[in-house]
Structure formats: structure tokens, C-alpha cells
Amino acid sequence: MNILRFSANQCCALILLCFFGCFGVGSAAAQTQAEKDEGWISLFDGKTLNGWRVNENPETFSVKDGAIVVNGNVSHLFYEGDVNNHDFKNFELKIDVMTFPNSNSGIYFHTDFQEKGFPGVGHEVQVNLTHTDWKKSGSLYNVVNVDKAPAVDNQWYTQHIIVKGKTVRILINGQLLYEYVEPNLKKDAERGQFISHGTFALQGHDPGSKAMFKNIRVKVLPN
């Protein structure tokens, strides 16, 4: 499969064809000893939200059967644990995800804790397979938008985010969706919706959306 590269003039709505034919629907495995040996570090203990901080509507997040369950009013759960002092620049992040019909969520990177609302800092990688929002799982929201669902509801799949320098690569179940290279952007502030550094966050989108996350692991890459 060819690697798609996107830069300054290619950041609008994109059509990626034949997802099911190319990707299939796999099951997501737990972190293996090989991954640990390769430098992967778990950010979620599977039992509690220790190391994570929720902002508004904390009831939106709970832990059940080894997974973070997201279901409720708008809320965001930020990683504030000890790994790399919860400040990541170059990294790989793998999260096993399950969505349900009409659910919408997201995974943020290079973000900061904020008391309420949708994060104004960092990028969101979309989690959505059947919600009415046409931007589907794997989209770098409003930057590189994927309009074909790369997995199916009610099954675990692995969402893999790689950031190195100004390059973002997104994989679903081990298959590369695209590679995005951030152009030289005019920046009015040090932090915003662009590649910089920061922590991760999970999104609670609305009461009708339910998603689950487990096996959250990161590999810190050299700067």
C-alpha cells in the first residue's frame, strides 16, 4: 500500500477508498512483553483513573472490565501521570478502542488540561465509525479528514498515532492511513492547534456517544 503524504495545499477533506478491502477488521491485542522490551509504557492500569484528570462532568468517565468507559455529557480526561512528566513531543501512542452505534469520541495529543470545553490546544484524532459527523476514525480533525470508516462498531481495534518532528502518521490495526507533514504555519501563540508538545486526552462528546479505551501505551521517541 502506498504512503499518502499531505502538506500545505492538501489539508482539506480527503477520500480514502476501499478501507475494508485494505484493512479488514482485526481484534486488538493487549500489550505484549515484546512491546515492553521495545520501550512501550502503559498509561492506564486497567483498574483506576490514577494518573488521569477529568475536567467537567466527571461522571462521563468510569472504569469497567479493564477499560475506560466514556459515556455522558461533554468532558475530557487528561493524562497527568509521571511518564515523561506527562509532556510528550515525539512519541508513538497505541490505544485499543471500541465504539458503539452513533458514538463519537476523540484522542488528543500535544494538549493541556483545561477546566471545560473542547481542548483549544493540540490536535484531535477522531474516534467515530457511525456517528453523523462524516469525519471518521483516524482523521486528524479538520486537518486531514477521513470519510470512510476503517473499522466497525462493537469490535476492538487499535488506533496508533506516531508524531516525529512535524510529521504525523496514523495507523488503524497496523495499516497506515496517511502521513501528514505540517507546513510552516503562521502562529499567533506558542501553543494552539498545531504540532508542539503536551499531554494526551480522551473525549466525552455527548450523552448519546459511548466509547471504550484500553491498553493505552506510549513509546517516547528522541527529540
Read off the pLDDT of residues 167-211 as tens digits, 9 standing for 90 and up. 999 999 999 999 999 998 877 777 788 999 999 999 999 999 999
What value does the mean pLDDT take over residues 46-59? 97
Q: How many CB atoms lie within 10 A of CB 195?
A: 20
10 or 166, which is more confident:
166
Q: Rounded distance, CA 86 to CA 5, Å?
A: 29
**How do residues 23-47 score in pLDDT, each as one tens digit?**
333 444 455 777 777 899 999 999 9
pLDDT exceeds 50 at position 65: yes
pLDDT of 79 reads: 98
In contact, 178 and 16? CB cutoff 8 Å: yes
Cα distances (Å, whole numbers) of residue 110 to 2, 33, 120, 192, 217:
27, 27, 11, 9, 16
Confidence band of 5 (pLDDT split at 50, 70, 90): low
CA-CA-CA-CA torsion sign (165, 167, 170, 176):
negative
Q: Rounded distance, CA 78 to CA 110, Å?
A: 11
Q: Rounded distance, CA 180 to CA 42, Å?
A: 26
Domains, the chain, in order of start with CATH, read 5-183+192-220 (2.60.120.560)
pLDDT exceeds 80 at position 91: yes
pLDDT of 15 reads: 34
CA-nearest of 20, 26, 3 to 158 is 26
C-alpha cell at 45: 492500569
- DSSP assignment of the chain: -PPPEE-TT--SEE----HHHHH--PPPPPPPHHHHHTT-EES--SS--TTEEE-S-GGGEEEETTEEEEESSSEEEEE-SSGGGG-BSSEEEEEEEEE-TT--EEEEEEE---SSSS-SSSEEEEE-SSSSSS--TT-BTTTBEE-S-SS-TTS-EEEEEEEETTEEEEEETTEEEEEEE------SSSSSSSS--BEEEEEE--TT-EEEEEEEEEEEPP-
Cross-strand bridge partners of residue 181:
167
Cross-strand bridge partners of residue 99:
211
